[in-house]
């Protein structure tokens, strides 16, 4: 009997709630009837943190968009809108045309001058310079004209079968470098243009330009090799709507000898207005005519 009573006492202790594990009183989250654990003081739940982070992100995005919109509006208004409210693009910077230096003539470049004695690139009737730069030759041309200025490369001193580079002043105020080939007395424009690094200006009723062309070129009838020596033909004249017309003078100047790009000289030829009778034959003729006039006077 005592054993039965002892077993009943042990069984009652095992099923009693007070003797159960205290942790068992806490229900698992998600179980039926379970209570949500209350957050400890000073700490936030996961959902609250997510909501707070989302609100902060949205607020930051709105502030960023607002700041960018304000900056873009101010930048656009400052840079692209004039006083009258019309948009205009900022013009690209334009490099000024570097003046042609004549103190280098005969030293680091070859020059040809035609006009008044002592003239330079701004005062000669016609001026040309050339110099080698690597595999190219740089040419500078200037003439007292509002139309065009050119140089021709010829195997003789006559016009015909010549490679010609011309700087042409058009109706828009631009100076363009064009390539021509003399067919007899007529200059035919050639689309294949060996010129590069072109620049030009029309100022003080003068056409001035600068360009480069290669020393060696693939075999072409209309483009000569500059490493060979050629007679240089110098010409200038008016232009009509950007098209060249007949040169100003009937007999344009021509180099006395063939010109080599490997030899730099400073050559001058006086224009007709400054030509004088300086040869011995002319002086002798003047003396003879003077003596004849004096002897024939009674």
| Residue 19 confidence class, pLDDT cut points 50, 70, 90 | very low
Give the contacts of 48 (CB within 8 A, at least 6 positions apart).
none
Q: Which domains does the chain have, with CATH numbers?
A: 110-274 (2.60.40)
| Residue 3 confidence class, pLDDT cut points 50, 70, 90 | low
Quote the CA–CA distance of 248 and 187 in Å, as a whole number: 15
The answer to whether residues 192 and 223 touch, using CB atoms and an 8 Å cutoff, is yes
- Helix/strand/coil percentages in the chain, nearest 5: 25, 30, 45
Cα of first residue to Cα of last residue in the chain, in angstroms, is 195
Tens digit of each residue's pLDDT (9 = 90 or more) over 140-199: 999 999 999 999 999 999 988 999 999 999 988 899 999 999 998 888 999 999 999 999
Average pLDDT, the chain: 76
- The two tokens of residue 91 are 């013009």
- The two tokens of residue 96 are 């000024």
Q: Which residue has the higher pLDDT, 83 or 203?
A: 203
Residue 186, pLDDT score: 84
Beta bridge partners of 270: 115
The answer to whether residues 126 and 115 touch, using CB atoms and an 8 Å cutoff, is yes
Tens digit of each residue's pLDDT (9 = 90 or more) over 259-279: 999 999 999 999 877 766 445
CA distances from 216 to 137, 190, 211, 224 (A): 10, 18, 16, 8
Give the contacts of 249 (CB within 8 A, at least 6 positions apart).
272
- The two tokens of residue 64 are 């960023």
Q: Which phi and psi (to 5°) does residue 201 adopt?
A: -155, 145
In DSSP notation, 151-212 reads EEEESSSSSSS-EEEEEEE-TTS-EEEEEEEEETTEEEE-S----EEEEEEEETTEEEEEEE
């Amino acid at each position: 009997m005592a054993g039965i009573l002892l077993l009943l006492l042990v069984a009652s202790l095992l099923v009693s709630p007070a003797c159960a594990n205290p942790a068992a009183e806490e229900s698992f989250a998600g179980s039926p009837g379970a209570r949500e654990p209350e957050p400890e003081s000073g700490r936030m739940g996961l959902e609250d943190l997510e909501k707070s982070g989302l609100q902060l992100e949205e607020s930051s995005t709105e502030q960023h968009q607002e700041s960018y919109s304000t900056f873009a509006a101010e930048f656009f208004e400052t840079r692209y809108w004039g006083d009258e409210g019309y948009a205009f693009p900022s013009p690209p910077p334009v490099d000024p045309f570097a003046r042609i230096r004549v103190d280098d003539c005969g030293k680091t470049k070859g020059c040809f001058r035609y006009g008044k004695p002592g003239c330079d690139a701004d005062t000669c009737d016609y001026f040309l310079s050339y110099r080698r730069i690597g595999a190219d030759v740089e040419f500078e041309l200037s003439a007292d004209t509002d139309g065009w200025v050119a140089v021709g490369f010829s195997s003789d001193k006559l016009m015909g079968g010549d490679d010609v580079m011309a700087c042409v002043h058009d109706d828009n105020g631009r100076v363009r470098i064009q390539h021509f080939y003399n067919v007899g007395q007529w200059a035919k424009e050639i689309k294949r243009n060996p010129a590069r690094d072109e620049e030009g200006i029309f100022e003080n009723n003068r056409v001035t330009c600068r360009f480069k062309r290669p020393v060696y070129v693939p075999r072409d009838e209309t483009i000569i090799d500059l490493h060979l020596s050629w007679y240089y033909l110098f010409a200038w004249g008016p232009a009509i709507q950007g098209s060249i017309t007949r040169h100003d003078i009937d007999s344009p100047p021509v180099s006395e000898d063939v010109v080599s790009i490997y030899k730099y000289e400073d050559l001058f030829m006086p224009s007709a207005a400054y030509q004088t009778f300086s040869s011995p034959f002319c002086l002798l003729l003047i003396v003879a005519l003077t003596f004849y006039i004096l002897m024939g006077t009674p």
